[in-house]
Structure 1
């Protein structure tokens, strides 16, 4: 098998999701012969079971929520009627369009590049395929994504068990839902289901929601969630099938109970999907979790000819990072041994709750500069009856922005503006010298930026320079 492989290429890419497609394209653009190996070629995780179907569910939830809160503005449309089958039917219809769009990328690949099979390592640069063939590659990019983690107490729940890969296939909304795991997926889907009329309880053994980095921001999200869901943090959970549903028990030093739920959604994390690769035969040094060490600026594993990108490396499991990492990995794999480090963008992670939460750039070190804005007292947010939450912006001693944490209305857009400012090297005085239209949510940044200016003794424009009313 080692002496006479069936297939040869410069770069073999294992996995045809966002990172894998990006890696193959970058390697081919760099002049390498490529093979893209995947057992299904079903499209990206984002389109099928991630970003897009979850946002379709959130869109329905937002519509229901807006109808319920309309009386705040003197508008009385009546109690919304939630048609669960219609909600799920539209979700799948639009989801399938998104997924079909990602699959069209495969049609543009050169003939012979797609290999429909599973791959595992038979040596450092030798792959064994599930169809019996072998591939010898000059370099290999691992882009196998991630898979749901199902803790032991929930593995025998049968059809009552849901994950982000199955919840979008249910025909109707359940009457009650337990959500295990208060990360981004758990928080988003728990709040969405609750706003669609489902009785929802959210459980996590940790003490924070949404993997919040800043305790104050985490508390703001926690406060928002508790208006919609029954939240239990710091608890251990156990579950048992009962009839068509599940009897769930939880306990901690000060919170314990049990309740029957129609369904249980397990959102307890998505570890890298590496177990079937036989990485021990790759020649890579592996840690106690079976993970290879890699350089996030080159995506190279040690000094080997193996690269790892996207969710498979568990570094930054979001779509735009997967695309970037795939491109870096594919380009460097094609150019071995001339590997070039790439500049990485500031961290940017969003949780699409209401209000959204975001983590941008780096966390502040002890004694670093931090400015705060209170969106509970922000003008445009008050106009729209969404005034809650806060923003915290971090800077170095020169007032140059380094990171931010926020949970506030418009947070998804504000996070982008802050990430762009950080990447461009902008300072707080520079941002304050730019136009802020009134009244907007973007104006809410100004108190935090002024805080930073005061702490670094930097001059700042006054509100009257832009005609902004005091306190807006």
Structure 2
């Protein structure tokens, strides 16, 4: 997006070194998809990136965390099979655990690296981009004039003010934790969202003494109180959690020459407490990486949380500017498949491929936390439903505490709520903690997306004995409560 001529002026000491149709800043999932799509039509496309040329998912997110969880689950099963008459104690080789995480991560990354390596060198720039007041991109020794700019700079862990200085090398984030050469003995995890829960439980199962702290008396952002309480109950069987705690200070102390971290906090009862240990894993969320990019020089306005204003959720375009902000950078829905779709859309849009230039937002909101038991939310949340006075609903429920297959497998702790609409016989949403939640969530998401009725769902087969039979029980409960509601309404009409 060029705002000046090629010739340098008094305000611009450098001359434009390159003019391109499209400049993509950031080479994660969204950026790579945008580059591939734009390159199909435009030859003068450049992609600029600082740091790793893979993706957040592969480098520091989905894949290494699931690799750690896989190891943790192996250890947990070995150490907790006495009820089945199987007695064993897992011998955990921490160095090998972390080595495999990195080895497999490199394996996944190699496929993306191969693809990036195949791109022409002159179209790739390794460096930090800055958009100046003339709307030109400064990177290394280049000054690039781009007709259209796609910003796909991703996100980084959010660290509370001052914590990095106070904690020093005792502080970990989801970007650094997988670089540990060995498993530590002790760790505090701050934040009980998806990242915090998954990593806290995984390290606990691998023999690390973990303490999980969270400001709210809540896990995984659950908005259904019954599901939240059940999740806390299930997870507390193995996790040491201090929920509803307010951290007042963090820092380090030297004990006999060994530096250790500390956290001072007030617990849910208002009592002052202190934790000491090797590392503090800060899992307080992620923030988009656009604050230092200079997008305001293009006329892009950000709100108080660095989210771009006037963002089209259909295309990622900012107003009528030739600027697109996609993926985690727009702080919309920070999920890989969403970033992929947004990058594809932006890459199509800048090439005037309007048929492909639209973002297909998930037809049904859907989230999974891969702790054990798993946590899933699908569709509308309970507060959203309650807020809409036009919606008449019932809550179908099933406990997995005594569900057949769950009990057989020794994973019988959980609860599912399905929110059913009485007027339409459709599923509005669901929330669950329990075994096989990822699969039950997918089935419910498919049902909502395809507008299936409760009857349609119950007409499908549920094989015995499976954990999925619990889904049928909850659907039957929805159906029963709807029938009772209608009968009550008919009785009221007759009496009037």
Instruction: Tell me the equivalent position of 1:465.
Output: none
Instruction: Tell me the equivalent position of 2:492.
Output: none
Matching of residue 45 in structure 1 with residue 56 in structure 2 = yes
Structure 1 runs (4+) greater than 4 angstroms displaced: 30-33, 336-341, 455-458
Q: CA deviation at 1:379?
A: 1.3
Please point out which of 306, 328, 347 is paired with 1:330: 347
More deviation in 398-407 or 351-360? 398-407
State the alpha-carbon separation in 1 of the partners of residues 39 and 31 from structure 2. Answer: 12
What TM-score do you get using the length of structure 2 for normalisation? 0.87
Instruction: Tell me the equivalent position of 1:350.
Output: 368
Matching of residue 387 in structure 1 with residue 412 in structure 2 = yes
Q: Secondary structure at the match of 1:377?
A: coil
State the alpha-carbon separation in 2 of the partners of residues 416 and 32 from structure 1. Answer: 40
Please point out which of 144, 159, 177 is paired with 1:150: 159
Q: Secondary structure at the match of 2:401?
A: helix
Query: Could you say if the C-alpha distance between residues 452 and 266 of structure 1 is closer, same or farther in structure 2, counting changes exceeding 3 Å?
Result: same
CA deviation map 1:370-417 (0-9, x unaligned): 322221121110110111111122333212223221111011222122
Query: Could you say if the C-alpha distance between residues 343 and 162 of structure 1 is closer, same or farther in structure 2, counting changes exceeding 3 Å?
Result: closer
Q: CA deviation at 1:252?
A: 3.9
Matching of residue 373 in structure 1 with residue 388 in structure 2 = no
**Consecutive unaligned residues in structure 2, runs of 5 or more:** 7-15, 387-391, 485-496
CA deviation map 1:203-236 (0-9, x unaligned): 1112211111322222222122212222112222
CA deviation map 1:438-462 (0-9, x unaligned): 111111111221233234449xxxx
**Consecutive unaligned residues in structure 1, runs of 5 or more:** 459-472
CA deviation map 1:77-119 (0-9, x unaligned): x222211111111111111111222222212335533222222
Query: Could you say if the C-alpha distance between residues 41 and 251 of structure 1 is closer, same or farther in structure 2, counting changes exceeding 3 Å?
Result: closer
Query: Could you say if the C-alpha distance between residues 347 and 30 of structure 1 is closer, same or farther in structure 2, counting changes exceeding 3 Å?
Result: farther
Query: Could you say if the C-alpha distance between residues 116 and 153 of structure 1 is closer, same or farther in structure 2, counting changes exceeding 3 Å?
Result: closer
More deviation in 126-135 or 43-52? 126-135
State the alpha-carbon separation in 1 of the partners of residues 415 and 221 from structure 2. Answer: 16
Matching of residue 399 in structure 1 with residue 425 in structure 2 = yes
Paired residues for 1:62-211 under 5 Å? 62-76=73-87, 78-110=88-120, 112-122=122-132, 126-156=135-165, 157-211=167-221
State the alpha-carbon separation in 1 of the partners of residues 53 and 342 from structure 2. Answer: 21
Query: Could you say if the C-alpha distance between residues 175 and 454 of structure 1 is closer, same or farther in structure 2, counting changes exceeding 3 Å?
Result: same
Query: Could you say if the C-alpha distance between residues 36 and 219 of structure 1 is closer, same or farther in structure 2, counting changes exceeding 3 Å?
Result: same
Please point out which of 285, 288, 298 is paired with 1:269: 285
Q: Tell me, yes or no, if the aligned pair for 2:26 and 2:152 is still in contact at 8 Å.
A: yes
Please point out which of 440, 446, 467 is paired with 1:441: 467
Q: Tell me, yes or no, if the aligned pair for 2:344 and 2:357 is still in contact at 8 Å.
A: no
More deviation in 368-377 or 136-145? 368-377
Query: Could you say if the C-alpha distance between residues 181 and 296 of structure 1 is closer, same or farther in structure 2, counting changes exceeding 3 Å?
Result: same
Q: CA deviation at 1:247?
A: 2.0
The number of residue pairs the alignment matches comes to 456
Q: Which structure has the bigger radius of gyration?
A: 2
Q: CA deviation at 1:9?
A: 2.8
Q: CA deviation at 1:8?
A: 2.7
Please point out which of 232, 235, 251 is paired with 2:266: 251
Query: Could you say if the C-alpha distance between residues 220 and 102 of structure 1 is closer, same or farther in structure 2, counting changes exceeding 3 Å?
Result: farther
State the alpha-carbon separation in 2 of the partners of residues 202 and 167 from structure 1. Answer: 16
Q: Secondary structure at the match of 1:258?
A: strand
Query: Could you say if the C-alpha distance between residues 35 and 457 of structure 1 is closer, same or farther in structure 2, counting changes exceeding 3 Å?
Result: farther
More deviation in 132-141 or 311-320? 132-141
Please point out which of 314, 327, 331 is paired with 1:297: 314
State the alpha-carbon separation in 2 of the partners of residues 376 and 429 from structure 1. Answer: 26
State the alpha-carbon separation in 2 of the partners of residues 425 and 437 from structure 1. Answer: 23
Query: Could you say if the C-alpha distance between residues 54 and 338 of structure 1 is closer, same or farther in structure 2, counting changes exceeding 3 Å?
Result: closer
Q: Tell me, yes or no, if the aligned pair for 1:153 and 1:239 is still in contact at 8 Å.
A: no
RMSD, matched Cα: 2.2
Query: Could you say if the C-alpha distance between residues 108 and 198 of structure 1 is closer, same or farther in structure 2, counting changes exceeding 3 Å?
Result: same
Q: CA deviation at 1:180?
A: 0.9
